[in-house]
Amino acid sequence: MSHKILVLPGDGIGPEIIAEAVKVLDVFRAEGSLNAEFEYAHLGGAGYDAAGHPYPEATRILAKQCNAILLGAVGGPQYDTLPRELRPEKGLLSIRTDLGLFANLRPAILYDELADASTLKNEVVARLDLMIVRELNHGIYFGQPRGIRVLENGERQGYNSATYTESQIERIARVGFETAMQRNKRLCSVDKANVLEVSELWREIVCKVGEEFPEVALSHMYVDNAAMQLVRAPKQFDVIVTSNMFGDILSDEAAMLTGSIGMLPSASLNASAVGMYEPSHGSAPDIAGQGIANPLATILSAAMLLRYSLQLPQLTDRVEAAVKIVLKQGLRTGDIFVAGREKVGTAQMGDAVVAALRMM
Ligand code: IPM
Ligand code: MG
């Protein structure tokens, strides 16, 4: 059976980094270990430019038919003045909701070879390997009511609603526990239960789901403390499960522990393992088109795609091994560059991963 992979290059550095990830998947297609067809479509600002909408209907139709999506990044300053409904970010949020991609997995792994790229002391981050499981379809990002209203005194008030139902909490909690079962069996649920009712319910439901996973050591942490603990002693964490906005913030923080957000992949999964895979970083419009962006997060996202949506973990292992090889060879894009290494561009880095794969 041939898998259908929808490729959405998106905006900014998106097309450049996506090209490298496609090169990597093409190695497997050429050797016959991956039977897949690519379709291309627009999302984000690219969607607005091509079809007047950040999530065009043509993209939507292809997205509903594919087994997995590989996304570059969306966003750019030229779109910031558009009405909110037409901005690139809205395209991303819409495809996440439309496909029910509620479970966002964001690993933060520090490769030994990159220990010198972290801004934190080596002993704090050496061999860091944690996974953030972020709820992606609900919470304050989507809760109703929301808007900007005019109060009786004529002053305007902005408002959003942080909402979670029991079933929404339950299914993401389950992903958290299942992820912990495949790792070191420790799960930390992050909330703000000392202030927010939505967190009070969150904590109650997470505890209830926990009864089904007696082997997992469950702990709870307030989000402010979690933000502090992530920089103080990040290795205390194995898996973190949290709500949409807390996960947005903590995953950027966790990414930086590893030296560069340019290294970190992510997977957004629905209930039937259809997934969208994208680097955790943004579209970096400041360096777009220069051929200097780090393609490794996108290449590692393609590796996650092979594992979670196509059930080809042996190919995932090969990509991850190839990335370690190029790092060991001393190749570095600007974001992870330190003196004494070889500075390379986007395509050179992708070519090096391809070469390492072919040697295996
Ligand atoms: C992310 C991004 C998005 C989010 C933006 C671009 C809408 O920051 O994927 O973390 O907030 O979810
Ligand atoms: Mg974010």
User: Two tokens at 28?
Assistant: 């497997």
The pLDDT assigned to 320 comes to: 96
Say whether 90 is catalytic: no
Nearest ligand to residue 136 Cα? 1
* Average pLDDT score over residue span 272-277: 94
Give the DSSP H or E segment for 166.
helix 166-181
* CA atoms of 306 and 34, how far apart (whole Å): 9
Catalytic pick from 40, 112, 224, 328?
224
Determine the 3-state secondary structure of 102 from DSSP. coil
The pLDDT assigned to 106 comes to: 96
* CA atoms of 134 and 251, how far apart (whole Å): 8
Residue among 71, 80, 92 whose CB has most ligand 1 atoms within 8 A, to mutate? 92
Going by CA atoms, what residue is nearest to atom 5 of ligand 1? 89
Angle (CA) 319-325-330 rounded to 5° is 135
The conformation of residue 193, written as its DSSP 8-state character, comes to T
pTM, 2 dp? 0.94
Confidence tier at 297 by pLDDT (50, 70, 90): very high
Confidence tier at 142 by pLDDT (50, 70, 90): very high
Say whether 192 is catalytic: yes
* Average pLDDT score over residue span 303-330: 96
Confidence tier at 6 by pLDDT (50, 70, 90): very high
* Average pLDDT score over residue span 255-265: 87
Going by CA atoms, what residue is nearest to atom 3 of ligand 1? 89
* Average pLDDT score over residue span 109-125: 88
Helix-strand-coil percent breakdown of the chain, rounded to 5? 50, 20, 30
* End-to-end CA, the chain: 25
Residue among 133, 248, 249, 251 whose CB has most ligand 1 atoms within 8 A, to mutate? 248
Determine the 3-state secondary structure of 283 from DSSP. coil
CA distances from 21 to 3, 47, 88, 203, 342 (A): 16, 21, 22, 39, 21
Q: What is the 152 CA–ligand 1 centroid distance (Å)?
A: 34
* Average pLDDT score over residue span 253-269: 90
Say whether pLDDT at 1 is over 90.
Answer: no
* CA atoms of 101 and 203, how far apart (whole Å): 22
* Average pLDDT score over residue span 54-74: 98
- Mean pLDDT for the chain overall: 96
* CA atoms of 347 and 355, how far apart (whole Å): 12
Catalytic pick from 11, 238, 248, 335?
248
In order of their start, the domains of the chain are 1-102+270-360 (3.40.718.10), 106-261 (3.40.718.10)
Ligand 1: does its nearest atom lie under 6 Å from the Cβ of 92? yes
Say whether 116 is catalytic: no
Say whether pLDDT at 289 is over 80.
Answer: yes
Least confident of 17-26, 178-187, 294-303, 337-346: 337-346
Say whether 328 is catalytic: no
Say whether pLDDT at 258 is over 90.
Answer: no
Say whether pLDDT at 338 is over 90.
Answer: no
Give the DSSP H or E segment for 108.
strand 103-109
| Model confidence pLDDT, tens digit, residues 70-113 | 999 999 999 999 999 999 999 999 999 999 999 999 999 998 88
The pLDDT assigned to 118 comes to: 84
The pLDDT assigned to 339 comes to: 85
Exposed / middle / buried, residue 156 (Cβ in 10 Å: 0-12, 13-18, 19+): exposed
Catalytic pick from 23, 90, 192, 238?
192
